[in-house]
A and B are shown apart, each in its own frame.
Chain A
Amino acid sequence: MLVFTRKSGESLMIGDDIEVKVLSVGSDQVRVGISAPRKIPVHRREVYEAIAAQNLAASRSEAPSAELIRRLQQLGRQE
């Protein structure tokens, strides 16, 4: 991993069009601003990983029980 030391207000460029800027530094938090082309998704890593983990869990789902289907159908009718 490349490591840089930056001060508040300083930036890094990744390629020509992605800028990572340190906005402020606290005792245990850093505010970071990202400017990137819209086609590049930017997410907190823990959110992305939670979704990947949930997709894996979903793919290992139990077969839907008759009871679950019946209760979901009731919910659908209440709308």
Chain B
Amino acid sequence: MPLEVKDTRFGTIRYEEGDVIEVTDGLPGFRHLRRFLLIESDELAPLKFLQSLEEPFLSFPLIDPRIVVPDYRAEIDETGREGLELEEPKNALVYCIVTLAERPENSTANLRAPLVINTANMRAGQFILQGAEYSVTEPLLRS
């Protein structure tokens, strides 16, 4: 039976329980929110949105980090992999959270702390990468 979440950035969204992504430890700053949907559409691509089910007005723009940095690599340590029960790297979807500014060139992506979704069990987490080669506010567009 389809479920509904109302009053989101996208209006009313219908979903099924199997679509729900469980961010098991919450996101830094939003630890109390655990249940999300991944919103994608042709008009938004390549952006996607992580839509909160508990706070419908809250959503986080996402992007595949390789669009920003083609050779991007996220090493998720054993702790993180265990938390998501991530056994197969191919089951991992990696996104970066994006901050959209009014001017496109002021928009940034957080490459330092990627969001990893285990598609095998729909668990996700935001992991802070050790080492500082990637920035929390990497420009989304580079000239």
Tell me the A residues contacting B by CB distance below 8 Å. Answer: 38-39, 41, 43, 47-48, 50-59, 61-65, 67-69, 71-73, 75-76, 79
Q: Could you say which residues of chain A place their CB within 8 Å of the CB of B84?
A: none
* Stretch among B12-20, B86-94, B99-107, B116-124 lining the A interface: B99-107
Among B28, B44, B112, point to the contact of A64 (Cβ < 8 A): B44
Decide: A50 and B67 in contact? CB cutoff 8 A: no
- How many residues belonging to B are interface residues under a CB distance threshold of 8 Å? 42
Beyond the given pairs A51-B28, A55-B97, 20 more chain A to chain B contacts, judged by CB atoms under 8 angstroms and listed by A's residue number, are A38-B78, A38-B79, A39-B82, A47-B112, A48-B28, A51-B110, A51-B126, A53-B29, A58-B61, A59-B30, A59-B58, A59-B60, A61-B98, A62-B102, A65-B104, A67-B104, A69-B45, A72-B46, A75-B46, A79-B67
